[in-house]
Amino acid sequence: MSTTLVTNIGELVTNDPARNGGGAALRGEERIALLRDAALVIDGEHIAWVGAASDAPDADRCLDMEGATVIPAFVDSHNHLVFDGDRSAEFAARMTGEAYDGGGIANTVRPTRQASDERLRELVAARVEQARAQGTGLVEIKSGYGLSVDDEARALRIAGEFTDEVTYLGAHVVPSDTDRREYVDLVTGAMLEACAPLARWIDVFCEPHSAHAFDGDETREILGAGVAAGLMPRLHAGQLGEGPGVQLAVEFDAASVDHCTFLSTEDVAALAGSSTVATLLPGVEFSTRQPFPSGRDLLDAGVEVALATDCNPGTCFSNSMPFMIALAVREMGMTPAEALWAATAGGAAALRRGDVGVIRVGARADLAMLDAPSYLHIAYRPGVPIVSSLAA
């Protein structure tokens, strides 16, 4: 196995706070642990050395970055990529004031069920490739547009061809032609039995403000069944209003609770005292015209924050992590360093992964490069394709 020296890196974002003495109190550039005039060595799929370019060891080949910036590849920890169909008309309607309530999900279920395996596989492949072209290294992919035993299992099998972070989301919404109690029984029974071997996570759209999603009692039952089947919990919560989702996520020690658009003071305190990551999805607020959550308030309270795209056909058809960083900085009170951490190390924490989102010895060599002198340009130049995956 050959080694590669990546050298002449003008600015290297390591996300390794140990370089600055470690400690949870580190913030901003101290936490992302910048190195300048840096280099690293890649051995196979992992990082073997990191340090000053002047101290770099020999390697089998050399890649000169000519002063460019290198960062950990983005970790996009919330995606709904297995779908067919178009819902652009819903986006246009929301731009004129129509509210989102989760009901449009059914408009994706029909074409997704009708699509062939080959068609869905091609669509997912294209979406993953688009994300990787913009610097994303690892994506999580959920089911949720099948809502039948066979269609949910099919979605998970296809998702598993592209990532090992696969999430069972049979509890996305209750199909309009189905009794709620019967559907919860299906999600926790035959559907779970078919899907659990194909997934790592279980997720629920816990949203009492939507007639289509699941209330607190239903969420507790579904998460409990998933955990009993060997799946790890994560949760959609607080998208349309305050509710029980955040407290349930903390109670179940969920890796992540996602959206968090509407949080109570008690929710923030619960998150601050837990290991559950608050994953913010600013592309959803952009696409639904809802208020942006305050990343600043969460960070100041000591909550670990992640950023993800929530790429889906209804409320955010974007897989651009650089765009999410720009929105977080402009609309959510986060600094560029905080947003970059949330899009990399924060996403890794939301998936309970220690091998991605960081540049240190032993980590996966998932890297991205910026055609720019500093990571600040990600938010400074939104929409400009300066970030790309680094193939060493």
Please state the rounded mean pLDDT for residues 322-336: 98
Residue list for the binding site for 4-imidazolone-5-propanoate = 87, 145, 172, 239, 315
Q: Could you tell me the pLDDT band of residue 190, with boundaries at 50, 70 and 90?
A: very high
Class of the CATH domain delimited by 75-350: alpha beta
Q: Does pLDDT of 20 surpass 80?
A: no
The answer to whether the beta carbons of residues 167 and 141 sit under 8 Å apart is yes
Give the pLDDT confidence of 80-120 residue by residue, as tens digits. Answer: 999 999 999 999 999 999 988 878 898 999 999 999 999 99
Strands 367-370 and 69-72, by their bridges, are: antiparallel
DSSP for residue 231 = P
Q: How many Cα atoms are found within 13 Å in the side-chain-facing hemisphere of 257?
A: 35
Q: CA 365 to CA 380: how far, in whole Å?
A: 26
Phi, psi of 38 (to 5 degrees): -110, 175
The answer to whether the beta carbons of residues 46 and 277 sit under 8 Å apart is no
Give the pLDDT confidence of 136-160 residue by residue, as tens digits. Answer: 999 999 999 999 999 999 999 999 9
How far CA 180 is from CA of 102, 247, 291, in Å, comes to 16, 23, 30
Which are the contacts of 151, defined by CB distance < 8 A and separation ≥ 6?
112, 113, 145
Give the pLDDT confidence of 350-381 residue by residue, as tens digits. Answer: 999 999 999 999 999 999 999 999 999 999 99
Residue list for the binding site for N-formimidoyl-L-glutamate = 145, 312, 314
- Number of helices (H) and strands (E) in the chain: give both, helices first: 16, 17
Q: List, in sequence order, the alpha helices (H) in 145-261.
A: 149-159, 180-188, 190-195, 216-228, 245-251
Work out the mean pLDDT of the chain and round it to a whole number.
96
Residue list for the binding site = 78, 80, 87, 145, 172, 236, 239, 310, 312, 314-315
Q: Is the pTM of this model over 0.85?
A: yes
Residue list for the binding site for Fe(3+) = 78, 80, 236, 310
Collapsing DSSP to helix, strand or coil, 352 comes out as coil
Q: Does pLDDT of 346 surpass 70?
A: yes
Q: For residues 284, 203, 255 and 310, what is the CA-based torsion angle, rounded to 10 degrees?
A: -20
Residue list for the binding site for Zn(2+) = 78, 80, 236, 310
Identity of the amino acid at 30: E
pLDDT score at 251: 98
Collapsing DSSP to helix, strand or coil, 278 comes out as strand
What residues pair up with 69 in beta bridges, in sequence order? 11, 370
Is 75-350 in the same CATH topology as 3-73+357-389?
Answer: no
DSSP for residue 295 = H
Q: Does pLDDT of 1 surpass 80?
A: no
Class of the CATH domain delimited by 3-73+357-389: mainly beta
Q: Where are the domains of the chain?
A: 3-73+357-389, 75-350
Phi, psi of 370 (to 5 degrees): -115, 130
- Cβ-based neighbour number of residue 112 at 10 Å: 24
Q: Which of 170, 334, 289, 191 is nearest to 236 (CA)?
A: 170
The residue count for the chain? 392
